Every structure is written in structure tokens, then in C-alpha cells.
Structure 1
Amino acid sequence: MRIDEQVVLVTGGARGLGKEISRAFGREGAFVVVNYRRSADAAADLVRELGADRAVALQGDVTNDDEVRSLVEKAHSHFGRPITTIINNALADFEFNGDGRPSPDALTWDDLDRQFRGAAKAMLSTTQAALPGMREVGFGRVVNIGTNLFQHPVVPYHDYTAAKAAALSLTRTLAADLGKDGITVNMVSGGLLRTTDASAATPEEVFDLIASGTPLRRVVTPAELADAVLFFASPWSRAVTGQNLIVDGGLVNG
């Protein structure tokens, strides 16, 4: 299915990386569902930018199963067709601030649970809610946003990284189960992005240090990562599933 035929749900799609992902799909002519939790004004502005005939803003907490089912139903009703493509981008409240992260001595299960709900649980909820529609049309694309901190914990964000590792495992097991239905499940893992709301707390010297370690000698932007997400929704990726593509300017491998 071409991108301009797809109905794409972008969770946390009104700000930061999500906003650039929504824009990327809008540029390619997709029907875009801009999901938001609290950013109603930003979502409305983005829908006006993308065009109300091709985009809709829908509120919903993606860690709440009932709210996820409701937004999937509203999207189907609005566009007259089911969601075919999910970009699990929403991030549980988090700041990439190494000085403010919980240390091993202070880390709590609540810290971990908050991130697990925002990554693995939300991914499961959105996928389950959209599965009937995907099976109905015999096509589905799920793209989960991960992190290169698995391979390069330059700052050990224990809670965030553990949750994203769980999401990668679920990406691969879901890919194995859903391939027979014409549904692919993949992950795109960025590094620190310049700049999102979450990375705004990062000191400039950290950005410079990361940039110096990449072959491109710069930090990847949200728009650049969004372009990589498009690949997994496009016809060119039809034989690719269960994969984790790292988009960080070449900082880490594998």
C-alpha cells in the first residue's frame, strides 16, 4: 500500500519528534491522526498546517486501553477507513538530563514502571486496538521509536533504556506473530536529537561531544529521523520486519 493510501496514527504526534513524523507523512499525502495527551493547541495548529482534509487531532492517553480503543474508532469514523499504520512515538514524561536522572541508589520501580507503561504497554495497546482494521484490509505497519542507548549508554538512563529494550523485544516477537497477516513491525532508534522538548535540558557540551563522535560530525535532527520512519511504512520495506534501524549519524553500530 502506498503511503498516500495509508491512515497513519502518530502517538505524541503534536510536538517534538512526533510533530516531524506527522509532517513527514503529511508531505507524502497520508491521512494523519495526530494523537496528543495535553497538547491540544499544538495538535490543532499542526492539523491546520497539514490540512483538515488529510489530518485530524485526537486526544488520548496511550497507556489507557479504553482511550486507545476510542481514538482508533474515532479515526476510522473520521476517515471512513481503518488505521493501517502506527508510529509509537509518545514518550512518558521524561527529560534527557543526566544530572537529573535517578542514580542506581535512588532508582525506584515506579521510575521503571512509568517508562514501561509509556513504551511497551502503549505499544501493545495501540497495536491491539488497530489489529482488526489491519486484518480487514490485509495490511499493517507498526513502527516503534527506540533508542541507541542499548548499544551506547553514554548517559545511563536506567528506566528509559530498560523500557525501550522491552519495546524492542516486543517488536521482534510481534513481527514473528503478525507477518502472516501482512503486518510488519519494526523499530527506528535515534540517539540524542537536536532538539526536542525532551532533549532541551541537555547541556550544549553534551551535544558537541556526541557530534564529535559521529562520522557526520553532527547530531541528528527530528526531521532526519522522521524520514527514516517513512521507509518502514513505504512499499520499499515490504520484506523487512522485526528490525531495529539505528539513525544517529553513525555513532553506534548493530
Structure 2
Amino acid sequence: MTMSKSHAGRVAVITGAAGALGREFALALAAQGCDVAIADISAADHVVAEIEALGQRGYSEVCDLSDPGQIESFVSATLDKFGRCDILVNNAAYMPVIPFAELGLDQLRRFQAINVEAAFLLAKLLTPGMAERGYGRIVQIASSTTGTPMPGFLAYITTKMAGIGLTRSLAAEFGGRGILCNALSPGLTLTPESRKNLPAELFESVCERQLIKRNELPSDLVGALLFLTSEGCGFVSGQTINCDGGVQF
């Protein structure tokens, strides 16, 4: 018996899906019947090939999300190709570790541009079509660091908190028009980039504070993402869903 796909016929836009979490999200959505468009600072042609291997249409564009013009160009090309967008996943994040004493205003503004303003502009460009059709799902990828501030993460945490505020406010704006907006908050996730940039001791200490005693992997977030972008999520909006192994702050 053929199993139906939960997201059949939908179109998803995902930022930062050339690797790690975003790639996992893109492939999971494609496996459930979504066509997927990707905006990333790095080329994502390999992910598009994987999406197409799953029988769905894919599109990617190298896009600096701090540049509104590039975002507008990406959205225009996506709508030309797919005709609409039903799901927006704001996954891309700018997150270098910079001590407060070394953090300049220009650097803070780049965090703001990529982590908050890009999500705002994508919602601005894509929600009119969602509202017209009476269906939309927006998921903002948040961070467990908002509950456990650490030195060097001031700009990242500040903008991740702003992203949660943006999500809750969008939920209020669009709740009567079928567009549901939620944040998904991962814990410390083991990826090639995080393994390279963060000390092993940090992974060990976080693991000790989790109820689930192992490192979080990108695949651990897929179930929550699929729920928040599904028709079954019809009465959940304005929420932040923690998917962090039950970390105890």
C-alpha cells in the first residue's frame, strides 16, 4: 500500500540549506512531497540534486541574506518557477563568536541583517500569497542559547531573541488568515561546522545537562519541523518549541 505524503503539493522556501540542519530540513520536506527553493550564501546545487532524486522539484540561488536586493531577486525567481510558497523556514544564521569588548556596531548590524531582517523581508514578500490562499506555515529556527547566555554570544543571542519576537508578532498579524508562525529551538547540535568551531568540552557539558544523554544531531529536529509545517499543526501558532534533549538550565 502506498503511503500518502504529508506535505504533497506544497512549496517550501528554506534559507541556509546548503548543509547541516537546512539540508536535513530540505530533504525531509521533499521526502514528504514538497518542492523546495533554497537561498544560501554557499551553492546548494548538490542539495537540489538530492531533492530531485526524491521526485520533487528543487531550486537554489546563492544569496547574501544581508542584501535585500538579493532576497527580492531570489523570491521573484522562486515564484516564477513554482508559482507560490506555502512554507517558509528561516534557518540561516550568522553566528561567529565575538567577545563583547571586540564587538562593533557594524558587526552587530550584520547579525541583525541576516538573523532578523532577512526573515522579516521574506515574510513581507511571501505572506501576501499565503494569505490569499488562506494557508501558510512560517518556522523560525531559534536557539537554546537564549536560555543559557554565554560570553561571546551577545550578538547571536540578541538577534535570536528578536527572531522569536518577530515570530510571535507575525502569528498575531496572520492568525485570522490561515498563516501559522512558530519558532523551533534546537539545543547544541553536532554538525561539521559546530564540531570545528566549538570545544569538545562544551558538547560534553551540554550533554550532561540533557535528559537525553547524547549529542543532538540535525536529524533529531526533523520530526518537529515536519509537524510545524504540516496541516496537522492547524491550531499551534506563536509558540517556541524546544527540541533540545530536555536540557536543564
TM-score, normalization by structure 1: 0.89
1:84 to 78, 83, 86: 86
Worse-matched range after superposition: 178-187 or 103-112: 103-112
Offset of residue 50 of structure 1: 1.4
After superposition, give the CA deviation of every residue in 1:156-184 in whole Å (9 maximum; x if it has no partner).
Answer: 51010000001111111111011122111
2:25 to 15, 21, 25: 21
Q: Amino acid of the residue matched to residue 11 of structure 1?
A: T
Change in 2 beyond 3 A, CA 1:5/1:69: same
Worse-matched range after superposition: 146-155 or 182-191: 146-155
Offset of residue 242 of structure 1: 0.6
Q: Aligned pairs, how many? A: 243
Query: Counterparts of 1:1-254 in structure 2 under 5 Å?
Result: 2-37=6-41, 39-40=42-43, 43-51=44-52, 53-79=56-82, 81-92=83-94, 94-95=95-96, 101-154=97-150, 157-252=153-248
CA contact (8 A) 2:12 2:88 kept: yes
Worse-matched range after superposition: 65-74 or 8-17: 65-74
CA contact (8 A) 1:194 1:220 kept: yes
Offset of residue 143 of structure 1: 0.3
Query: In percent, how many aligned pairs have the same letter?
Result: 30
What secondary structure sits across from 1:224 in the alignment?
A: helix
Worse-matched range after superposition: 193-202 or 156-165: 193-202
CA contact (8 A) 2:6 2:32 kept: no
Worse-matched range after superposition: 59-68 or 120-129: 59-68
After superposition, give the CA deviation of every residue in 1:12-67 in whole Å (9 maximum; x if it has no partner).
Answer: 11112111111111111111112222x22xx1111111117421112322232222
CA contact (8 A) 1:21 1:227 kept: no
Gaps of 5+ in 2: none
The answer to which structure, 1 or 2, has the higher relative contact order (CA under 8 A, 6+ apart) is 1
Instruction: Output the CA distance in 2 between the equivalents of 1:147 and 1:18.
Output: 14
Change in 2 beyond 3 A, CA 1:182/1:2: farther
What secondary structure sits across from 1:19 in the alignment?
A: helix
What secondary structure sits across from 1:82 in the alignment?
A: coil
What secondary structure sits across from 2:8 in the alignment?
A: helix
Gaps of 5+ in 1: 96-100
Instruction: Output the CA distance in 1 between the equivalents of 2:93 and 2:79.
Output: 24
CA contact (8 A) 1:62 1:125 kept: no
Offset of residue 122 of structure 1: 0.8
Change in 2 beyond 3 A, CA 1:252/1:234: farther
Q: Root-mean-square deviation (CA), in Å? A: 1.9
Instruction: Output the CA distance in 1 between the equivalents of 2:181 and 2:62.
Output: 24
Offset of residue 226 of structure 1: 2.9
Change in 2 beyond 3 A, CA 1:164/1:137: same
What secondary structure sits across from 1:5 in the alignment?
A: coil
After superposition, give the CA deviation of every residue in 1:128-179 in whole Å (9 maximum; x if it has no partner).
Answer: 1112221221111110011111112255510100000011111111110111
Worse-matched range after superposition: 143-152 or 55-64: 55-64
What secondary structure sits across from 2:193 in the alignment?
A: coil
Query: Structure 1 segments of 4 or more deviating over 4 A?
Result: none
